[in-house]
């Protein structure tokens, strides 16, 4: 279906999408991307986004995993309209609570003579014909069911009475009125099976869109142990949820512009299945951090300080009354909130180390010792302390030592912060204040 046809189709109906995770582990970034695309599509078309939980695997399901999924989706802002904790007209939303529903639908297949027993299990009798699906991402795909050796009748009910994924998945989609199934490409070959079941039930099939897999940056398959795989790790590492949503959206979807930074509202406005790529998405954790940095830069000083404070507290640093100004000094320097403590520690405590490499560079500057021997007194004599006044005093001390003022900026930075990089030197001088600058310069002179 082309873009115009797809758009016309969605306007003729009430869009209903769903995300159906299994609570057997944490929320993986691949699952989060599937949830996001369904959420974006539903929001774009004014439809409903349904969350249902495929929890029939009692041996592997855990309460911890269920909560991790809910917490991960909530943190990402992927609010569901129907599902656990929300209710709705199509519940229950846990498959483990839907057995009576499945029994009733199974009886329809029995009555239609579309199932038969085989070693205690029940198999669905395929119609031996080609089945063609028109996928909204992958295009037209045909599976030929005429060769039974390649497409044996599938089990829909196990010998223990439990139902298989294919059966409950189709029943739930029909029961819940799902209009669009957006899921991973690994399910592409399952769809013809589902279409045969839907036809046997006399139902109307949803539109399917199979989105590409996510690979690591080097093209290898992404595993659960790879950095960035677990959504629950992102808030602990200091990511902003809109930034993670932004990054995940770009894993397989192309806005067809050079823009890369979008708010959730902008993603809703721009999103379309026509712009979903066929090739796998490449997960680049460094790119994710860069996207986060762009979102951090858009925060105002108060928002940034509020986000950074828990990480500063956890590091054992005391965020004083001027913490908003302290945090603002490094807002353009960090990619994650978790990087803030190391970036501002020297502004919050006087106990900090001096970087050996930076200190060695200062010691190699022949004028540094002479300048810093007198710089403490020069700073002490400044009546009205300011960054400009301190830099002027440094300039005079440099000239007296036969050095250029610019050559002393780096040594002063190292004296005050212990490192050769960081916030603007003027901000450091202002935030530390006169007394602390005098003390640090004098202590640094002794090191030289």
Which active-site residues does the annotation give?
A: 224
DSSP state, 83?
A: B
**Cβ-based neighbour number of residue 332 at 10 Å:** 11
Q: How far is CA 130 from the centre of its chain?
A: 40
Alpha-carbon dihedral sign for residues 386, 388, 389, 394 = positive
Q: How far is CA 268 from the centre of its chain?
A: 16
Instruction: Please give the Cα distance from 274 to 256 (Å, whole number).
Output: 11
Instruction: Please give the Cα distance from 390 to 377 (Å, whole number).
Output: 11
What is the longest distance spanned by two Cα atoms in the chain? 102
Instruction: Say if residues 412 and 422 touch (Cβ distance below 8 Å).
Output: no
Pairing between strand 207-211 and 180-184?
parallel
User: In the structure encoding, which two tokens stand for residue 121, read together?
Assistant: 């299990």
Q: Nearest 5°: phi and psi at 182?
A: -110, 115
């Amino acid at each position: 279906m082309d873009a115009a046809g797809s758009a016309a189709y969605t306007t003729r109906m009430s869009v209903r999408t769903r995300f159906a995770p299994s609570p057997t582990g944490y929320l993986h970034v691949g699952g989060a991307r599937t949830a996001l695309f369904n959420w974006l599509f539903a929001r774009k078309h004014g439809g409903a986004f349904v969350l249902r939980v495929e929890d029939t695997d009692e041996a592997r399901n855990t309460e911890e995993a269920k909560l991790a999924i809910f917490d991960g989706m909530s943190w990402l802002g992927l609010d569901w309209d129907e599902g656990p904790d929300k209710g709705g007209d199509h519940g229950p939303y846990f498959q483990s609570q839907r057995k009576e529903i499945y029994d009733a639908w199974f009886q329809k297949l029995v009555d239609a003579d579309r199932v038969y027993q085989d070693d205690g299990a029940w198999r669905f009798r395929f119609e031996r014909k080609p089945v063609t699906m028109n996928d909204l991402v992958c295009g037209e795909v045909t599976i030929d069911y005429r060769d039974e050796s390649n497409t044996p009748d599938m089990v829909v009910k196990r010998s223990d009475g439990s139902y298989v994924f294919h059966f409950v998945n189709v029943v739930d989609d029909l029961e819940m009125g799902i209009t669009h199934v957006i899921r991973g490409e690994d399910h592409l070959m399952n769809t013809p099976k589902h279409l045969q079941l839907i036809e046997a039930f006399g139902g109307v099939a949803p539109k399917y869109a199979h989105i590409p897999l996510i690979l690591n940056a080097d093209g290898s398959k992404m595993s659960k142990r790879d950095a960035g795989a677990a959504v629950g790790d992102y808030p602990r590492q200091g990511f902003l949820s809109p930034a993670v949503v932004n990054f995940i959206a770009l894993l397989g979807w192309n806005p067809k512009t050079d823009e890369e930074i979008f708010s959730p509202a902008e993603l809703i406005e721009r999103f379309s299945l026509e712009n979903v790529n066929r090739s796998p998405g490449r997960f680049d954790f460094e790119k994710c951090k860069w996207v986060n940095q762009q979102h951090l830069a858009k925060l105002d000083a108060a928002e940034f300080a509020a986000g950074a404070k828990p990480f500063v507290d956890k590091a054992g640093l005391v965020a004083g009354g001027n913490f908003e100004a302290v945090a603002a000094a490094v807002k353009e320097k960090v990619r994650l909130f978790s990087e803030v403590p190391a970036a501002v520690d020297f502004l919050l405590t006087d106990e900090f180390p001096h970087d050996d490499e930076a200190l060695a560079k200062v010691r190699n500057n022949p004028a540094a010792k002479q300048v810093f021997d007198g710089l403490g007194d020069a700073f002490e004599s400044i009546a009205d302390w300011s960054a400009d006044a301190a830099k002027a005093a440094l300039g005079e001390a440099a000239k007296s030592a036969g050095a250029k003022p610019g050559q002393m900026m780096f040594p002063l930075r190292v004296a005050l912060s212990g490192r050769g990089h960081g916030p603007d030197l003027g901000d450091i001088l202002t935030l530390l204040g006169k007394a602390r600058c005098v003390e640090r310069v004098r202590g640094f002179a002794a090191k030289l």
